[in-house]
Amino acid sequence: MMINLSKLIKREIKVLDLNFSEKIDNISYCGKNYRLTSLVGVNGQITNIDGQLYLDCNIKFSVLDSCSRCLKEVEVNIEDDVKAFIVEDEDCVLEDEDTIVCNGDELDFKNIIENTFILNVPERITCDENCKGLCNSCGANLNEEKCNCHNDEEFTDPRFSKLKDFFKND
């Protein structure tokens, strides 16, 4: 999804309004593909301030991921405000400011959306804060069923069976 910046660069206009929704199928991050479940909504503007382009927009979308405890699919809402200067080459990157490098007269907005995802995706996603997860022995989803594969008091790892009687009094 490319945004043409030529009118802004030539100073034919001072403000380019961004108000669109775009369909993106997935975003790849850390070797995993995340499927987007909504359109990517972008609202904001790019402004030419004394020859420098400045992006100020809000990006909003949803992706599917799995619960880190029970592996159930969960829809995760991502929303962020992006504020950054737009420069034409990497030599012009500003040290103390967020900077986006454009490609000539065009700005690839898909890269901005991917960076928004990377910076805002939660580290651990859970379907519910009280998610019980999966049984360590049989893999049953403890939110949906009670596991009967072992009783915690009776279950002993065979490697530690000799220690079972260690603290018993004679």
Question: Is there a single domain that holds both residue 72 and residue 34?
Answer: yes
Residue in the structure block whose two tokens are 């360590």: 136
Q: Give the pTM.
A: 0.76
Q: Return the pLDDT at 160.
A: 77
How many domains does the chain fold into? 2
Does residue 126 fall inside a structural domain? no
Q: Return the pLDDT at 102.
A: 83
Question: Is there a single domain that holds both residue 158 and residue 100?
Answer: no
Q: Return the pLDDT at 77.
A: 94
User: What span, in angstroms and rounded, lies between the C-alpha atoms of 45 and 8?
Assistant: 11
Q: Return the pLDDT at 123.
A: 87
Segments forming the whole domain that contains residue 55 = 2-120
Which residue ranges of the chain lie beneath pLDDT 50? none
Q: Do strands 73-87 and 40-49 pair parallel, antiparallel, or not at all (unpaired)?
A: unpaired
Read off the pLDDT of residues 85-112 as tens digits, 9 standing for 90 and up: 988 876 666 666 688 888 888 888 888 9
